[in-house]
Amino acid sequence: MGTSNRKSRIDPQNLFGDSDALTLHQYRLKEWMVTSGRKRSDEETVEIPPTTVEQIPSVWKLIGGITPHPWQTECLAIWRKKGRGTVKVVTGAGKTLEALLLAETLQNEEDKELRVAIVVPTIVLMLQWHDELLQHGNLPGTAIGRLGGGYDDDFRDGRRILICVLASASQRLAKLVKDADVDQHLLLIADECHRAGAAEMSKVFKTKRRWVLGLSATPEREDDDDAGYNKSLLGKQVGPIIYEFTLADAIAADLVPKFTINHYGLTMGVDERRAYEALSRSITDAMSQLKAQRDGGSDGDFFAWARTVASRGQGELALTAKRFIANFAKRRELLNHLEARHDAVIELVEREFRHNPEARVILFHESIAAVMDVFADLCDHGLPVIAEHSDLAGSVRESGLDLFRRGIARIIVSARSLIEGFNVPAVDVGIIVASSGSVRQRIQSLGRVLRRHRGPTGEEKTSCVHVLYASDSSDENIYAKVHWDELTGVDRNRFYRWDLPSEPLLQDGPPRNPLPSETQIEPGSLQPGSQYPGEYEGAELTCDSQQNVSNAEGNYAKDTADLAKAVIAVKGSAGRFRVTPKRRYVLVRMPVGDEWETRFVTRLSTPLRFQVGKQAAVPLAEVSAWGSTARPGDRYPFPAVPVADGQVRYKQKLGGSISKKVRGGELFARRADKAENARKGEDAARLVAAIKELSQRGQRISRIEINDARHVLFREAGQLFFIYALDEGLEFPQEYQAEEQSP
């Protein structure tokens, strides 16, 4: 037969359809799973063709004619008064639009030569900002540069806006701004700025700028408040929180769709429960041993302290800290990978698609490994799913997100990279498969789902979020941190107990509730030493064995003898405590098992008075003259004389000695027979004698101070008292040597 001249009936355009694109992407993800040890390729080279510089409009229009919400106009007016500050706005309420409105206003009304540097934590966010600017603004593409993720732009060649990934910005932004000489025209925007507290972002702050704006749904740390954030590095560099718009505000303003949140408490299997209890017992035992060596503090501080202890070596305490940290991580992994989580996810997703075959679903998980496991499970069930996380190549991430945006993929499983910042269109269902105990992360996850969208017939769709947690476990602690009805609105939360494969059983409320605030607790119900039923809140203070009370800034309070005695009586020792801001309840924390128990001490009748003001300087000659006639124990009238050494201690061992701690050990002041300077040796001996004289009169002294007048003092109940006037000073060995420990 001859060759047929008939035209092929196969249209090349139909050879590779949407279904094929999804299947290919899923194979790429599966390939990554079996070759995931290879080097990350986020920074793969991006081929950028040469471009011609286009005309920059004299008046920028960055929001595309969108009418700002009232909160955005109000926030803009507040920010412009100082040109700096952090905007704390719930995810989905329009933080990006607020930033674009602000930049547009600056360029239109204050600086025609405006330059904008936008620093974001991820490549996904960089690409999203770029899309927003091109979609809504009138600047040509050549005026909008990118730095990081394979892009290498700067402020040359007519670029007015530079969107930078944090890792690249920390290394290069300051120099790029300096080389372009645009710092007097620069607006620096830190998006998702709560991610910017690390050392990387501190390098970004070396960038000189005229204006700065921070954007985040939750800028402060989990155990912090707005005041704490304002004092942090981030708060100082970006500016304090100047505006807050909560989820409750967004609901009241009708900016989010109708939604429900279903909280499912999952039952552990028998073997899982046995392993959980064993790990919990080990954690409790280790925490008890560690807390016995530490005085109070928040749980967040405790974990940081335990990590520090674990890194110190092989001592008994270090080994206990290592065991505590390792078992805590194992317990978290156990909870994150419960069999019930897997079964619940499959049931919820399949139930949703039976009800709505066109649904779009986001799943959030805690680790990349868990994300890929869930992705593989859903693939095995024939579902249109993709995975998204920060270890994937940039091209794979972009193509996957594009498949999801276009509705070809209808399920996306994500690690934390998607939680912060990515704008997801038209999502019907969110499933928080597992999460940390962070309220901030939970709010971020909710914000990814709560976006207004409409169905095919134009009706507004209702969003739904499913939250999975392990019943009767540490997973429940998050419900004790915040009232979820207050956060999300009344009657939006439903709580279930779910023992798969049975149907979920509706519960009366959350598994735990937050503790009451101080204003909800009547003073008459409290007794010294009793367990305090409310939050451990207020300013943290410290008292010592000499009845002094100091704050975080090192300022001493006045007249604190009674307060210090009360704290020591309840606590059993000197140490940290708190005073609540409104009713002035004095509270201490006591280790009980693997928890801190809060105890009530007393109630202050008046606020503490701290010695914070600068006092009039007195000539040292006058101070020295007074010291020449003073006797040990006299009240010291010159608190303004600067302290030269506040790390000196008196110890009773060795017949009485003066010491100070140094790196590697402890140094002792040499007395007459060992001092190279005989007069300094005599000073040490006479100082010890003066302290012994005070001890015989009932005065207990441990910590002492030496000021610029060479007066040795002790502080009690916030008041300074005189001990001895040094003639020459004290002689300590220059370096720590074990054989020189005795004076």
Give residue-wise pLDDT tens across range 155-165.
988 899 999 99
Length of the chain: 743
pLDDT digits (tens, 9 = 90+) for 386-421: 998 878 887 888 888 889 888 899 999 988 655 444
The lowest-confidence range among 84-88, 98-102, 527-531, 643-647 is 643-647
Decide which of 327 and 553 is more confident. Answer: 327
Distance CA 387, CA 376 (A): 9
pLDDT at 723 over 60: yes
Beta-bridged to residue 263, according to DSSP, are: 467, 495
CB 464 within 8 A of CB 360: no
Q: At what angle do helices 339-355 and 368-380 cross, to 10 degrees?
A: 50
- 742 pLDDT band, cuts 50/70/90, is very low
What average pLDDT score do residues 697-712 get?
92
Given CA atoms 522, 489, 85, 195 in this order, what sign does their dihedral have? positive
- CB-based burial of residue 740 (10 Å sphere; 0-12 exposed, 13-18 middle, 19+ buried)? middle
108's tokens:
């239109």
- Cα-based torsion angle of the residue sequence 279, 284, 289, 292 in order, rounded to the nearest 10 degrees: 160
Note the pLDDT of residue 421.
Answer: 47
CB 547 within 8 A of CB 703: no
pLDDT at 72 over 70: yes
How many alpha carbons lie under 13 Å from residue 647 in its C-beta half-sphere? Answer: 9
216's tokens:
């985040």
Neighbours of 289 (CB within 10 A): 16
pLDDT digits (tens, 9 = 90+) for 250-273: 877 877 777 889 999 999 999 999
pLDDT digits (tens, 9 = 90+) for 554-591: 888 988 999 999 999 999 888 889 999 999 999 998 87
Distance CA 182, CA 208 (A): 9
pLDDT digits (tens, 9 = 90+) for 508-561: 999 998 888 899 999 999 999 999 999 888 888 999 888 999 987 788 898 899
Decide which of 267 and 447 is more confident. Answer: 267
CA 339 centroid distance within chain: 30
Q: Which residue has the tokens 């603004």?
A: 137
Contacts of 643 (CB under 8 A, 6+ apart): 705, 706, 707, 708
Note the pLDDT of residue 39.
Answer: 40
DSSP character at residue 588? E
Note the pLDDT of residue 692.
Answer: 93
CB 670 within 8 A of CB 657: no
Note the pLDDT of residue 26.
Answer: 87
- Cα-based torsion angle of the residue sequence 43, 166, 192, 539 in order, rounded to the nearest 10 degrees: 140
Residue type (1 letter), 98: E
pLDDT at 736 over 60: no
CA 529 centroid distance within chain: 33
- 722 pLDDT band, cuts 50/70/90, is very high
Residue 6, SS3 per DSSP: coil
Pairing of β 665-668 and β 595-603: unpaired
Note the pLDDT of residue 45.
Answer: 43
Strands (E), 351-462: 361-364, 385-388, 411-414, 429-432
Question: Percentage of the chain surpassing pLDDT 70?
Answer: 84
CB 515 within 8 A of CB 537: no
pLDDT at 48 over 60: no
Q: What share of the chain is helix, strand, coil (3-state, %, to 5)?
A: 40, 20, 40
The domain 70-252 is classified under which CATH number: 3.40.50.300, 3.90.1210.10, 3.30.70.260, 3.40.630.10?
A: 3.40.50.300
The lowest-confidence range among 326-330, 341-345, 397-401, 511-515 is 397-401
CB 25 within 8 A of CB 403: yes
Residue type (1 letter), 314: Q
Among 232, 170, 199, 193, which Cα is nearest to 86's? Answer: 193
Distance CA 604, CA 382 (A): 66
- 44 pLDDT band, cuts 50/70/90, is very low
What average pLDDT score do residues 242-246 get?
88
Distance CA 611, CA 613 (A): 6
499's tokens:
């023992």
pLDDT at 49 over 90: no
Decide which of 407 and 425 is more confident. Answer: 407
Q: If you average pLDDT over every residue of the chain, what do you get?
A: 84
Among 115, 119, 103, 130, which Cα is nearest to 198's? Answer: 119
Among 718, 708, 707, 712, which Cα is nearest to 658's? Answer: 712
Our CA angle for 162, 166, 172, nearest 5°, is: 65
Give the max Cα distance, the chain. 128
Q: Which residues of 242-259 are buried (b: 16+ CB within 10 A; e: fewer)?
A: bbebbbeebbeeebbbeb
CB 541 within 8 A of CB 611: no
Question: Percentage of the chain surpassing pLDDT 90?
Answer: 45
pLDDT at 493 over 70: yes
Q: For residue 217, what are the CA distances in angstroms to 191, 198, 421? A: 10, 18, 10
CB 197 within 8 A of CB 231: no
- 37 pLDDT band, cuts 50/70/90, is very low
Distance CA 326, CA 322 (A): 6
Beta-bridged to residue 649, according to DSSP, are: 659, 703
Q: Which residues of 167-201 are buried (b: 16+ CB within 10 A; e: fewer)?
A: bbbbebbbebbeebebeebbbbbbbbbbbbbeebb
Distance CA 414, CA 29 (A): 13
> Within 311-360, where are the H helices?
316-336, 339-355
CB 148 within 8 A of CB 183: no
- Cα-based torsion angle of the residue sequence 509, 513, 516, 522 in order, rounded to the nearest 10 degrees: 60
What average pLDDT score do residues 625-633 get?
93
Q: Which CATH number is 259-265+338-506 given? A: 3.40.50.300
Distance CA 250, CA 452 (A): 12
Pairing of β 259-266 and β 463-470: parallel
